[in-house]
Amino acid sequence: MRISEVHIYQKDLQLKTPYTMAGTVLHTLDSTIVKLVCDNGLCGWGETCPVGPAYQPEHAAGARAALAQLAPAIIGESALTPLLLRRRLDANLNGHNQAKAAIDVALMDLIGKHHKMRVCDLLGGAISEKIPSYYALGIASPGDCAKQAREKTDQGFPRLQIKCGGRDIDEDIAVVHKVWEAVGNQVRLAVDANRSLTARDTLLLSLSCKQIPIVIEQPCNTMEEIASIRPQIHHPVYLDENTETINDVLRAISLGICDGFGLKLTRLGGLNAFTTVRDICAVRSLPHSCDDTHGGDIIAAACVHAGSTVEPKLLEGVWIGAPYYQQHYDPENSIQIKDGHINLPRAPGLGITPDENLIGNLSASFG
């Protein structure tokens, strides 16, 4: 089964309400979809959708440029040997994990369809058919965050992430206290600064919330800043944006600066890279999520397949963009959250079939 065509699409995902993180307000997400077609007619789908251009060093237009660069190198190659294909991608372009991840996901979709196996089984096997998710509360006032936290807890989410940063630290501290008053230990809580806090404000946050069992996620911009204050922080610390590669995960673990991770599938390079990190985390009993930065049903399906293979005690949940969007690519088998959990798709491969009228504009075709 050889790759005969590569098609790249650009899709604007309209958000129901603006998505806010420290210093960022987004109304639309720019998603990139990849369709690989093989000489036997099978199609595989991949997707990558950064949460705006400032979250990671890679951005949406860069992903499409990288995919256009890579496409000619994979035409004619076997779709059944993902490791060999990954080496070929690396030999043709340095970096650009998000673009390579879209190809990796499409390949795993193809391999699953070819062998009539689900992607979760190709990754080692699903532990459960119902995967816990979590919800990210955007930057808002203490009262609004507490109200939303109550609603999401009542909907069944086992974990909430509170966004903070980009404003006075006192307001963030007030938000954490109000949310805790509203939901107590009915849900697990993480507070995510998305790299925005100074070391000083991270210490103030941790000290002022000493009695509240939160995880502090990616407080500062660099691993070095986090390392400098780590012994004084009263809470578990997770890294997210700092884990741009598998080597970054190894570096963070060897520096002993974190207790877990917010992992992004496309940032690491796709499903195969994620399983490497999953297994490294298991060796050190480090909890982590299995998310992507944003994106529709394709990347959501990939995340839920991958998340289903993580040891339950280490899985901090699978975050997907579905609650924030109006539309789905596969309206019949869309990936959705119900009672704070996501059902694993049943069909082979990723288990979804995008409607080609719903995946945006063709940006380039090869083959």
Q: Which residues bind ligand 0XW (CB under 6 A)?
A: 51, 136, 161, 192, 194, 240, 262, 291, 293-294, 319
Residue type, 60: A
Q: Which of 11, 264, 313, 338 is catalytic?
A: 264
Round to whole Å and give the CA distance between 228 and 279: 28
Q: Give whichever of 3 and 263 is closer to Mg ion, judged by the CB atom.
A: 263
Q: How far is the CB of 28 from ligand 0XW (least distance, A)?
A: 14
Q: Which of 163, 178, 210, 338 is catalytic?
A: 163
- Crossing angle for the helix pair 297-307 and 271-283, nearest 10 degrees? 30
Q: Give whichever of 58 and 70 is closer to ligand 0XW, judged by the CB atom.
A: 58
Q: How far is the CB of 194 from Mg ion (least distance, A)?
A: 6
Round to whole Å and give the CA distance between 207 and 199: 12
- Is 152 annotated in the active site? no
330 binds, among Mg ion, ligand 0XW, none (CB under 5 to 8 A by kind): none
51 binds, among ligand 0XW, Mg ion, none (CB under 5 to 8 A by kind): ligand 0XW
Cβ atoms of 259 and 238 within 8 Å: the answer is yes
293 binds, among ligand 0XW, Mg ion, none (CB under 5 to 8 A by kind): ligand 0XW
Q: Give whichever of 35 and 267 is closer to ligand 0XW, judged by the CB atom.
A: 267
Provide DSSP, 240-301: STT--SHHHHHHHHHHT--SEE--BHHHHTSHHHHHHHHHHHHHTT--B--B-SS--HHHHH
Round to whole Å and give the CA distance between 274 and 114: 22
- Give phi and psi for 31, each to the nearest 5: -100, 150
Q: Give the C-alpha distances (Å, rounded to integers) separating 367 from 8, 11, 85, 261.
A: 12, 22, 17, 39
Q: Considering only residues 202 through 231, tell me which ones interact with Mg ion, judged by CB under 5 A.
A: 217
Q: Give whichever of 67 and 164 is closer to ligand 0XW, judged by the CB atom.
A: 164
Residue 332, number of CB atoms within 10 A of its CB: 8
| Torsion on CA atoms 37, 41, 45, 46, rounded to nearest 10 | -30
- Is 163 annotated in the active site? yes
Span of 100-108, 233-241, 245-253, 270-278 interacting with Mg ion by CB under 5 A:
233-241
Report the sign of the C-alpha dihedral through residues 125, 130, 132, 134, in that order: positive
Q: Give whichever of 196 and 272 is closer to ligand 0XW, judged by the CB atom.
A: 196
10 binds, among ligand 0XW, Mg ion, none (CB under 5 to 8 A by kind): none
Segments of the chain assigned E as strands: 3-21, 24-38, 43-48, 130-132, 135-137, 159-163, 188-192, 214-217, 237-239, 260-261, 337-338, 341-343, 361-366
User: In a 10 Å sphere around its CB, with 0-12 CB exposed, 13-18 middle and 19+ buried, how is residue 14 labelled?
Assistant: exposed
Contact flag: residue 58 with Mg ion (CB under 5 A)? no
281 binds, among Mg ion, ligand 0XW, none (CB under 5 to 8 A by kind): none
Of 47, 240, 244, 316, the residue at the interface with Mg ion (CB under 5 A) is 240
- Give phi and psi for 142, each to the nearest 5: -55, -45
Q: Count residues contacting Mg ion (CB under 5 A)?
A: 4
Q: How far is the CB of 87 from ligand 0XW (least distance, A)?
A: 29
Q: Give whichever of 99 and 193 is closer to ligand 0XW, judged by the CB atom.
A: 193
Of 109, 192, 244, 259, the residue at the interface with Mg ion (CB under 5 A) is 192
Of 262, 296, 340, 349, the residue at the interface with Mg ion (CB under 5 A) is 262
Tell me which residues touch Mg ion (CB under 5 A): 192, 217, 240, 262
Q: Which residues are catalytic?
A: 163, 264
